Amino acid sequence: MNLENKNYKNIFISFLMGIFLSIIPIVIHSDAYCRDDMQVQYMPTFYAIGSTILHAHLVPFITTHTWFGGNLIGEFQYGILNPIELALYSILPFIKSIQYGADFIAVFHYGILSSGMFFLAKTLGISDKFSYVAAATAVTNNFIYYWYASSWFPQFTSISFMVWAIAFTLKANQSKWYFLAAIISIYLMITIGFPQTIVAFTTFGLIYSFLEIFKYKNIQSCLPLFAVGLGGMSALISFLPSVAMLAVSDRNVTSLFSAGSLIPQLGDLLFFSNPVHPSHMVMMSYRHIKASHFYVAWFILPALFFIDWKAVRSVPTKVVSIIVCMFVFLVLTQGPEHLGPLRLPFRYMAFFQIFLVLTVLYFFDQYKKIHTPKYKSFCFAGTLFILDMISCVQFPNKCIYIGISFILCWYFGLRIAQKNMSAVQWIIITVLFTIFSRGVGGFHNGAMPDWQIFPRISAEINLNSVDPYYNMYLVDNIFNKKWYKNSDQYIKDIGLGNVGFARNDPSINGYSPMQPSGLSRRFFSRGEHKASVHGTTSMEAGIRGLEIEPVTGLSFFDLMRVKNVIAFNGEQADTFDREKNAEWQKTENRQYATVFSHPLPNEMLPGSLSWPLQGISVAEQSVATGTHEAMTLSLRSKNAHKLIFARTYWPGYEATFNGATVPVSAFAGFMLSVDLPADASAGKLELFYRMPYLKLSTFLFMLSVLITASIMNIKMFWRKI
């Protein structure tokens, strides 16, 4: 790549700026980047993956440490085929606090986002000064901070790579190294694993590519499209396992949470320069979200008035693409509410805001009025006043703050029209506006649960090992004031989500947006309502586990090797205590939970084998792992032709008996079973997990590498346009 030394320097400075600015929320609240799903899903999983890499020297694609959410590659949110993420995960075990681990990984990605935003702005033709402003605006973006950096983390990390992918795609036909960089950055973006980012980038990539091809009509103009296609092809290795998992998932089932939920009102989107105006969205019981999630930047509205629009004659294709995509993303925020496995269209808001900032800064940088007519200043002030009056009518309790916001935005808006402020001044004002916005609206997302779940980190985490037994946690409603107040104490006695990963506590509970259907419907669904992704249980979950499975004669808890049921004190514990049989004994009374235990009838069986208990003589050939088991069956009756394992069934499991493939299926809808020949023959059984579509995705990955190398070495593609 032929980047000038100055650009390298500026990109590095913007990276450091992103780190510095993202540390400010940590100074205010140490758990700024560890809220909601970061506490119960992502950070425990990131720590466990990092520990497994360090201790077992492998990347775990699947684990048996949880039944609900153990298909790590299929969940598509953990970036386990992204080398940068794996390197960061490997550092986490050295940070003994989940809060500080979240701070570390968030701050690093803010550096990636900031430098990528600077590079993208420069690629669009924006000056250094306003490229720094664009970078600072991305780092201080309220929407990204409230929803992604502190909770839905893969959306944040994928966006941090997306801005790089867009910039390199815009440069893909300038040199073969930019072309290669575009493919690599697209791969890194997709392998993070968040579908809306993939949709957003693909939308941009196709629009820009077709505009380039239409304009130039030569082979070089096709290079951006080739880069998009090859980057996507190379990353299918991380995406296809999720497609396979949909066959056993409830992901496609619409719920009340996705029907009409979290769709922004278009009128509120006009308040992109108001740091106080609360955001209108419905989210379950929340009707109004306190914070200003739709605030983008203080300078957007005044800049629109102080651009000399009459001077605009010709706009580059790359900028046109940004403008078109900005409006596309605005429309996408309104729906569809549920399209296949996609949820919550408001997630496109971040892309609209990023492209809005780039659009406004481009035109303001290139076409700012040299002399601002007074009527423009009056129009700006009048528009700002009207918008703020509407905001006051809607939220009279915010009138004082809205008034302060009006004065500040009016004053600094006129300043940018009349004076040539430095980049440092722009950035300081931007940061101060953000602090004011979050100070008024709250430094945490009020629509998210206010938990304090920071489990201790075990030093012995290995997601590739197989556990002899499991715990089943019975806990139902975690979205209430008692949990928000006492969660730090409750979590010492109970488990939910992927917290067990961090504590090295194998359990049935887990966290799974993909939601394996059979398991979900038995233990985690509530009547007609969809199962909770957090692995919280229905009131009947304990009773359903005690039910006898008719084929085996064992209870479901026995087949799953559930030795301990740990029920939250109250209705959950009382219900299980009332319904349990004599085998289950109350063994421990914790402050907030009761432990019930019983002997497992299958605890002497090797590996994760759970049934049959009779008519079979079996010995383990090697230590069972998450992806492989091998055992010798030296004696087998004719009735012992179905083997059931204490594992969740996922697409990708295969088995051989004496070298011949034997059927693998889901028993009772969610347990892994292997059907042996009915001739009572002895022999060696091997059970192993292979990523679905591994051969196809590996072939496509290698093909993309081959095509990329060929294009880079064919001179025809690199002639001057």
Q: Is the pLDDT of residue 485 over 60?
A: yes
> Residues, the chain, total?
721
| Cα distances (angstroms) measured from residue 718 to each of 78, 225, 349 | 37, 15, 37
Residue 160 has pLDDT above 50, yes or no: yes
What is the per-residue pLDDT for 652?
A: 95
Neighbours of 164 (CB within 10 A): 23
Q: What is the topology classification, in CATH, of domain 609-690?
A: Immunoglobulin-like (2.60.40)
Confidence (pLDDT) at 638: 79
Over 60: is that where the pLDDT of 253 sits? no
Span 452-463, average pLDDT: 92
DSSP 8-state class, residue 465: B
Q: How high does pLDDT run on average in the chain? A: 92
Q: What is the mean pLDDT of residues 278-289?
A: 67
Query: Is a pLDDT exceeding 60 seen at residue 257?
Result: no
pLDDT of residue 538: 86
Instruction: Output the pTM of the full model.
Output: 0.94
* 241's tokens: 């396992």
As a whole number of Å, the CA-based R_g of the chain is: 28
Query: Would the pLDDT of 332 be above 70?
Result: yes
Q: Is the pLDDT of residue 254 over 50?
A: no
Using the predicted structure, report yes or no on whether residue 256 has a pLDDT greater than 60: no
- Which has more pLDDT, 371 or 107? 107
319/678: higher pLDDT: 319
Q: Which of 475-479, 532-536, 644-648: highest mean pLDDT?
A: 644-648
53-62, 78-87, 252-261, 619-628 — which is least confidently predicted?
Answer: 252-261
pLDDT of amino acid 334 = 84
Least reliable range by pLDDT among 4-8, 355-359, 490-494, 641-645: 4-8
- Spatial neighbors of 660 by CB under 8 A, at least 6 apart, are none
Judge whether residue 623 has pLDDT over 90: yes
Q: Residue 56 and residue 139: Cα distance in Å, rounded?
A: 36
349: phi then psi, degrees, rounded to nearest 5: -60, -40
583: Cα separation from own chain's centroid: 42
pLDDT of residue 362: 97
Residue 637 banded pLDDT, cuts 50, 70, 90: confident
The per-residue pLDDT for 420 is: 87
For the segment 192-239, what is each residue's pLDDT rounded down to a tens digit?
Answer: 988 899 999 999 999 999 999 999 999 999 999 999 999 999 999 999
The pLDDT > 70 percentage for the chain reads 95
Calculate mean pLDDT across residues 16-41.
95
Residue 2 has a pLDDT of: 58
179-192 per-position pLDDT tens digit:
999 999 999 999 99
Residue 466 confidence (pLDDT) = 95
Mean pLDDT of 99-121: 97
Report d(CA 59, CA 242) in Å as an integer: 17
Q: In the prediction, which pLDDT does 655 show?
A: 97
Percent of the chain at pLDDT above 90?
Answer: 78
649-659: average pLDDT? 95
Domain ranges for the chain: 5-30+98-441, 470-597, 609-690
Helix (H) / strand (E) element for 474: namely strand 470-474
| Tens-digit pLDDT profile for residues 370-407 | 888 889 999 999 999 999 999 999 889 999 999 999 99
534-593 confidence digits (pLDDT tens): 889 988 999 999 999 999 999 999 999 999 999 999 999 999 999 999 999 999 999 999
Closest CA to 472 of 582, 578, 591, 600: 600
